[in-house]
Copies of this chain bind each other. A is one copy, B any other.
Amino acid sequence: MEIYELLKGKNIKNEQEVKVVARVRSNRPGKAVGFLVINDGTSLLDLQVVYKSNLDNFNDISQVRVSSIIEVIGKILLTPDKEQKLEIQAEDIVILDEASQDYPLQKKEHSLEFLREISHLRSRTKTFQSIFKIRSVAAYAIHRFFQEENYVYVTTPIITENDAEGAGESFIVTTLKNDEYEKDFFGKKACLTVSGQLNGEAYAQAFKKIYTFGPTFRAENSNTSKHAAEFWMIEPEIAFEDLNFNIALIEKMIKFIINEVFNKCSDELEFCDKNLEKGLINKLKHISNSNFERITYTDAIEVLKKAVDNGQNFEEKNIFFGLDLGTEHERFLCEKHFEKPTFITNYPKEIKAFYMKQNSDGKTVAATDLLVPGIGELVGGSQREDNYEKLVARCEELKIDVKGLSWYNELRNFGYYKSSGFGLGFERLIMYITGASNIRDVIPFPRTPRNLLF
């Protein structure tokens, strides 16, 4: 029986006979009676096993080491008044495999930095069991959200020749030891994708509503707690719909994901609240119950100017139309001014990507960022430019290779009426939901500059 079934099952009875295979988390032997805490990975919660000297192999059990695998046969003792609702009175314990005494995760506390060096083992700790279970449940919630709304999941290519944002630093994919790409596998220079959006847009023209969910890459030499060379993105795209639809969709999706995590990961959230971010659960409940705010970029600039006038101490105090908002400005807006998640809309075109729809004011584009308390920007989206000439002109202004993007731009000539979408960085979402403060701790095997292990 799995420990998950034991602890969550509804028909578990006192004195019921059970058999469990699990890993030893701790062993507290005594003269006549000992206590094993075991976990089989199916539940964050452990199971306590009481073993007594009547067992033939009592002495062996008393010495069994942390991380060994054992099989326990015994009777359930319901203990509704204790923190653990039941324990097992062992009748037979078989040591299936004894762990080496070099096992690095002995009972003492370990730093997150140390645990990163043993990424192949850290998922056995409660911290990472919580984070990676939540990651899994959130990933499924995203698929469920879109599939139940009849979106088509499109796997966009990882190896690509185009650079969606025109700014990303791409990894080169090659089979050679030099740069004679015309002799290379693909006969040309190939890169790892920085975004699936452009390919996704082509599919939205076919299916109306699509989403991508896959890995993306940046060869950015940034050793910060927020940057990784490899991370996952969700990029939905909806044809025939505008920025307002997009904004409503983002809000609905974020709430859906958080509610799914609440429903399926209450133990894990409690653990994260206690150990990673105090107040996490209240923060998430607040998000889930808020009506997200909306403000234009132009109005947000006015709010920030007033705040500076009123003595708000930003590092960047020079607030003007055209400023690329910093995290401090974003957090001020959603944390202090509105005290809830906030959509900023209609950014100056100069600070946004080439494919965003130019508004009739000639200055702004139909873009939105969702800012959330505690983190700042969580989602970025836009309505796409639908006018072929404007799009090509903008590419040329920004010195983007029009030829490589001709297939993308020409979508506008073959029947095109509005298209909107957004990008959600999956790891940023998981950091937000778990309270983890370093992106390296929400990716099973993180890749950062000069760090490629496992």
Contact = CB atoms under 8 A, between A and B. Distances in A.
Contact of A152 (B136, B156, B239): B136
A84 interface: no
Contacts of A186: 229, 447, 449-452
A172 interface: yes
A326 to B, nearest CB: 27
Given A152-B132, A219-B175, A454 B69 contact: no
B155 A232 contact: yes
Interface string A128-158: 1100110111011001100100101111111
A221 B270 CA distance: 51
A217 B154 contact: no
Interface string A432-454: 00000000000111010111111
Given A172-B175, A185-B171, A97 B41 contact: no
Interface in A402-450: 407-408, 411, 413-417, 443-445, 447, 449-450
B171 A171 contact: no
A97 B207 contact: no
Contacts of A154: 132, 136, 444
A207 B132 contact: yes
A260 B138 CA distance: 22
A361 interface: no
Given A158-B215, A230-B159, A132 B2 contact: no
Nearest to A124: B206
Nearest to A449: B185
Contacts of A96: 417
Contact of A136 (B24, B153, B215, B453): B153
B413 A188 contact: no
A69 B415 contact: yes
A161 B451 CA distance: 11
A34 interface: no
Interface string A218-250: 010100000001101000000110000000000
A369 B452 CA distance: 32
B155 A444 contact: yes
A185 B451 CA distance: 9
Contacts of A79: none
A205 interface: yes
Contact of A185 (B135, B209, B219, B416): B219
Interface of A: 2, 4, 21, 23-24, 40-42, 67-69, 96-100, 102-103, 119-121, 123-124, 128-129, 132-133, 135-137, 139-140, 143-144, 147, 150, 152-162, 169, 171-179, 185-188, 190, 192, 199, 202-209, 214-215, 217, 219, 221, 229-230, 232, 239-240, 386, 407-408, 411, 413-417, 443-445, 447, 449-454
30 contacts: A2-B208, A23-B415, A40-B240, A41-B208, A41-B239, A67-B414, A69-B417, A99-B413, A103-B413, A119-B202, A132-B154, A136-B147, A136-B152, A136-B154, A140-B153, A155-B444, A157-B447, A157-B454, A158-B158, A159-B171, A159-B192, A159-B452, A160-B454, A161-B453, A173-B173, A177-B179, A186-B447, A214-B214, A214-B215, A407-B454
